[in-house]
Structures are given as C-alpha cells and as structure tokens.
Structure 1
C-alpha cells in the first residue's frame, strides 16, 4: 500500500469511526394529548449518537440490505423478523455511550400534570415551592397509588379523563365536570385522613379557569418534555454543540419556536431545578432537522429502541400481553432497559426525599419490577 492509499484509508477510517455531530431521535406510542388510550399506555423517545461504522454493524446484525429500511412494527410481525430485532439489540454498539431513552407512563403523567398545573400554581401564589425536595413527585406518587384504592378505579379513570378533556377543550362545562369528579371522590373516599388531600385539589378551582385558558396546546403531550429530557442529557454528555435529526413529529414541529429558545446559544447559561433534577440551559443542540426515517439509518436505530421499550413496558403493565417475543425482550432488562433510560416519568410508591433521591444528587434507579 502506497502513502496516498494509506492516507486515503486513514481518512475513511476517521470518517467512519468518529461520531458525526448529530443525535437522531424517534418516538413510539405517541397519542398526543390523549393520555387515556388504554391500548397505548406508554410513550417512549429514543436517541442515538453513533458512528457510521456502529450503525452499519447494527444493521449487519439483522442482515439488512444496504437500502433496506428497518421498521420495528413490520419486523415484529413474524418470528424471523423478531429474531432480526433481537440480533440488533444484542449488538454491543448499543450502550449508554451511544444511546439514551426516556419513557412516560401516560396515566401517571396525567396525575403529574394535575399537580404541576393546578396544585403547584396555587402553592406558588401562596409563596410555597412544592418542587423543593421533590414534594411534587411525592404528591403525584401518592395520588397515583392511593386514589384507585380509596376512591375506586372507575372514579380514578374518570378523574384522568375529565382532566384531559378540560385541558383540551378549556370550557366551563368540562372544567366543572373535572371538579365534580373530585367531589364524588371526596364523598366516596374510604380513608378519612386522605379526604384533606382531595379538599386541597378542590381548592384549586379558584385558579382553574385561568390555568386551563393559558395552557399550551401541547401541555400534556409527552413528546415535548421527553425531547427536552434527552437533549439535556446529550448536552451534558457531549458538552459541545450538536444537531438533532428527528423523525416527523407534530408536537415537536408545533413547539419548534419554543424549543429553539431553549437552544439559543446567545442566552446566558443558567442552572434550573433542584438536586438530581438540575439541567443547564441553553441546551447545546443547534437546531432540529426533520428527516424521512427511510433515508436515515440512525433514526431507524432510534425506532428500534423506542418501539422495543414500548412493546416491553406494555407487557410489564399487562401480563396478558407477554408473548414469547416479550420474554426475549425481557432478557435485555438490565443491560438495555435499565441502563439506557434517562429521567423517566414512571410511578412508584416513593414519597420521602430520601426515597425519591431529592435530598442529594445522584442516579435514581427506576426500573424496580
């Protein structure tokens, strides 16, 4: 090999082995503001930062042809396709260094938004910060855990349904329906001590009209906070500007102006949040480029991860969905599903700062199933 050939080889090797300054995103299970779709209880957004070589290696694991598009839903329909999915997931290029996923339990998100939009706002107006030491998380976990027990699962589901409708329609009729459900819950609550918590929810009615009127169209769409979660993660991990390639997403496109503000490099850097929940702004992403997943192999890898985790978590929530393929995916629980998850919105029974990890910084181990 001559000098010129050697230099050409080195250039190609560097090009293929160095991660391009891009992170690819794709989502699964998105039903927009409809958080009550029982067939789609989980939302996931996955992100990938890989070299061309790493992407090619993963595609080779599934014996994909050069121009063949990978799509999880299509491959998961038969055993041969499922095995190709599993081979891709076994590839060691999928790691914490190259991939990150965030997941949202939609029903729990509705409870979180009730606390965030109503309880927190009323508390703030009265000079109290419920974000400190994770009181908002504790309250959300408490409501999600005990409301179905003390007030019945039917009223619990009616509460979530009426709240979602109030956010989406914003008129007096649907808002009144939401508070009427809370009144029903208060009357039927089997725990006398917990009734005071329901009275607190009723007290938020004094600010409800203003809150719902000013709520953004995407205020209860998981795609937006999921995007910020992962962009913040990569900003910290890469510590340099990067581009985002994103499969078409209506909520992201709708809020592109707001998200661009979060990425405005001319803004002064600030640290937002408490304890382990801190994030630096502006985010280091330089912008969002919407792409056709057919033409972007990195987005197809993100589709693999987001769709696989949604498939797996649906089986976690409903044992009747546990097919042989689901049990194969469960084998990745420790290496992938626990290892790649970043800032999930997932319910637990944790209510103290020590349990929540809000006393000090650290990694919260969430997938305790």
Structure 2
C-alpha cells in the first residue's frame, strides 16, 4: 500500500505570535525508507551523522548544493506536497472564525461566501497595525489566543477590553462584535476543545492534497511529536467516517469522505530515512519563507528552493490584498457548509 512520510517544522502550540517561529508547515513524501536511504547515500556519501537534518546540513556550505539536488530529485521522482502557513495570518483567520463569524451567522449572513473571511483577514494583516496601532493590535491578538486557551471570564473580559481600546470603528466589520460584547462570539471562544493550535490545520491541508495524489488507500507515517498524539483520536475519526460527502474549498481543492487514508502511525525519525527526507523538504521551505520576508538571512537561495516545485506540489496560506483574484479563487466554495459539517461530526472547524 502507498505510504506518505510526513515531517513538520515551526510548531509552537497555541502561540501563533512567536516572533522566532513565524511560519509553520509540513511536507509529505511518498517514498520508501529504502529509496530514501539510497538518495541520502547518493547525495551525501560522506555524511557521518546518524540522522539527516536540514538545519545541521544547511549550515555547512559544502552541503548546500547537494541539498538543492536532493530536493530536485525528490520532487521530480516522487509524489510529494509541502504546506507553509504564516501563523499570524492563520491566527487572524481563527479570530474571524470565533470572534466575528458567529455574529453574522445569527443575522443569517454567510460570512465565508467567496472567501470573504480570507479577504478581511488579509486586510487586517496588512493595514491593521498601521490603522489601529501596532502595539494595541498585537495586544488584541495576544488577548484572543489567551482567551481561546484559558476560556475564563477574566480572559474573555480582557479580550473585550483590548478590542475597545482600539479605534475599532475603522474596521467595524471585524472588531464591532467584540467591542459590543456579542454573547454568541464570546460563547464560541469559550467552547471547550477549540484552540489556536495549528497542528490540525496543517495536517488537514496535507490530507486534502494526499487524497488527490494517492491512487488508492494509503498510509501516513509521521515523525514522533506531541501534537500528533493530541490529534491522533481526531484523525482516527476522520479515517473511520464513512458518510459519502464532498466539499469544494477552492478552484483547485476539495475534500471527500470517506477518505482514502487508512491509518496514521508515528515513527522515530532516526530510524526512518523517508521521514528525514521530509525534514529536508519542510526545513528548506520554511527557511525560504523566512528569507523572502526578511526575517533572517537564508542559508539556501529561497528562489532556488521554491523554483523546484510545481504548482500542485506547494500549498501556502499567506495574506493577499488582490481581492478580485482571491474572490475568483474561492468563488463557489462550500466553506460554511463544510464548517457546519465538521462541527457536527468532528467538533472542530477546518481552516
């Protein structure tokens, strides 16, 4: 049976504002351990380390071209997908999901129609710090993720106060519900089990693409991590869900149940060359994102890394103020229906 090996990078739990880890992502590669070991021997014949790790290799100038060549070989010879998201943008999407959308839902309005939530999140991301004040805007986001984590009356009250301190009337569509203490929004934030942890969002994005790439039932092997343990039960519920249903997400993405995915298992990366290949893929992609945004000097040329990918091999969740293009991309998406379905059957919201 076909098997995808997955590794991730940039995970910071519920804290999506960590300044040292702006991006989070994961890579999935359909490659066997034997094939991966052969590639590692081919491109790193003198490697003495027990485990292939992107960051350690990229620090050595002599290994940088082999890292590029290895990625080129993987992308040209194997099914693979890499996902990278801007965690601050994802936090804004979550803010709109819980602190804004319930208000519009009560009014009978489809807040998600044609990707309106993505457009508003992009607007907030781009002009929010300038229009509302960088420090106050950051305080609002910090208060939101703290309220999502703690769910106490004190944390919810601090969130409302943070919204009221802003010049919220500049963007009332996004900030008005909290400024007026909309009960339905506060209730949504206080819902047990929901959080700003992005691990499930990353995995769902990879699953959507793996479902397209897989020719039939397939397995997933994932590096050992606490966050996958946390979501293991939910992933098993996804796998076991037998209702026949399909949702259109964008022009190029949809998700259909029952999934082709048959099982998810954790493995020790030290004993899995295939997981080590996935580590290289996501490590290079995250570093490219950091380099392109000027967060830190990259060890590999970002353009050289990203140019290796075909369009269908790379997924990114970043803000865009090309609103017409975004509307066209998400026109006709069944976001509201999909969210209602996931909430009913899995107790979570897809992003």
Give TM-score, length-normalised by structure 1.
0.81
CA distance in 2: counterparts of 1:30 and 1:115, whole angstroms: 22
SS of equivalent residue, structure 1 residue 22: strand
The aligned counterpart of 1:333 is 306
Query: 1:157/1:354 Cα in 2 relative to 1: closer, same or farther (>3 Å)?
Result: closer
- Is 1:114 the counterpart of 2:99 in the alignment? no
Kindly state the Cα deviation for residue 56 of structure 1 after the two structures are TM-superposed. Answer: 4.1
CA distance in 2: counterparts of 1:72 and 1:230, whole angstroms: 20
Q: Which runs of 5+ in 2 are unaligned?
A: 334-351
- Is 1:75 the counterpart of 2:52 in the alignment? no
The aligned counterpart of 2:191 is 214
Q: Which runs of 5+ in 1 are unaligned?
A: 1-19, 362-369
Matched ranges for 1:252-267 at <5 A: 252-264=228-240, 267=242
Q: Could you tell me which of 230, 238, 247 is aligned with 1:272?
A: 247
- Is 1:244 the counterpart of 2:220 in the alignment? yes
Q: Could you tell me which of 323, 340, 346 is aligned with 1:351?
A: 323
CA distance in 2: counterparts of 1:208 and 1:195, whole angstroms: 15
Which region of structure 1 is more displaced relative to structure 2, 199-208 or 35-44?
199-208
Query: 1:204/1:106 Cα in 2 relative to 1: closer, same or farther (>3 Å)?
Result: farther
Contact 1:122-1:204 within 8 A present in 2 as well: no
CA distance in 1: counterparts of 2:29 and 2:240, whole angstroms: 22
The aligned counterpart of 2:8 is 27
Query: 1:125/1:239 Cα in 2 relative to 1: closer, same or farther (>3 Å)?
Result: farther
Matched ranges for 1:140-179 at <5 A: 140-179=121-160
SS of equivalent residue, structure 2 residue 292: helix
Contact 1:118-1:204 within 8 A present in 2 as well: no
CA distance in 2: counterparts of 1:89 and 1:315, whole angstroms: 18
Matched ranges for 1:304-323 at <5 A: 304-318=280-294, 321-323=296-298
SS of equivalent residue, structure 2 residue 116: helix
Matched ranges for 1:56-135 at <5 A: 56-59=37-40, 60-63=42-45, 68-91=50-73, 93-95=74-76, 97-135=78-116
Query: 1:41/1:228 Cα in 2 relative to 1: closer, same or farther (>3 Å)?
Result: same
CA distance in 1: counterparts of 2:105 and 2:77, whole angstroms: 37
Rg bigger for which structure? 1
The aligned counterpart of 1:198 is 175
CA distance in 2: counterparts of 1:312 and 1:222, whole angstroms: 20
CA distance in 1: counterparts of 2:310 and 2:166, whole angstroms: 36
CA distance in 2: counterparts of 1:238 and 1:52, whole angstroms: 18
Number of residue pairs the alignment of both structures matches = 331
Kindly state the Cα deviation for residue 42 of structure 1 after the two structures are TM-superposed. Answer: 0.4
The aligned counterpart of 1:228 is 204
The aligned counterpart of 1:184 is 165
The aligned counterpart of 1:9 is none
Contact 2:37-2:274 within 8 A present in 1 as well: no
Query: 1:254/1:53 Cα in 2 relative to 1: closer, same or farther (>3 Å)?
Result: closer
